[in-house]
Amino acid sequence: MSSPTTRVVAGRQITFPVPVVSASISGAAFLSRTAVARRLIAAGPQSAVLDSAGAEPVSLPGGRTPVTMIHVRYHDVPGNVLGGYHEVGLAFQVKVPGVGVQQHIHELPVDQDFTLAAGNELWGFPKWKGDMVGTAGGALDDARLGAVGSSGAGGIDLKLDTRLGVPLPG
pTM of the model: 0.76
Q: Give the distance from CA 125 to its chain's centroid.
A: 8
Residue-wise pLDDT for 35-74, tens only, equals 999 999 999 888 999 999 999 999 999 999 999 988 888 9
Strand 64-74 relative to strand 156-161: parallel, antiparallel, unpaired? unpaired
CA angle 5, 10, 11 (to 5 degrees): 75
End-to-end CA distance of the chain: 39
Q: How many CB atoms lie within 10 A of CB 118?
A: 23
Cα distance between residue 39 and residue 33, in whole Å: 10
Residue-wise pLDDT for 106-131, tens only, equals 988 888 899 999 999 998 888 888 77
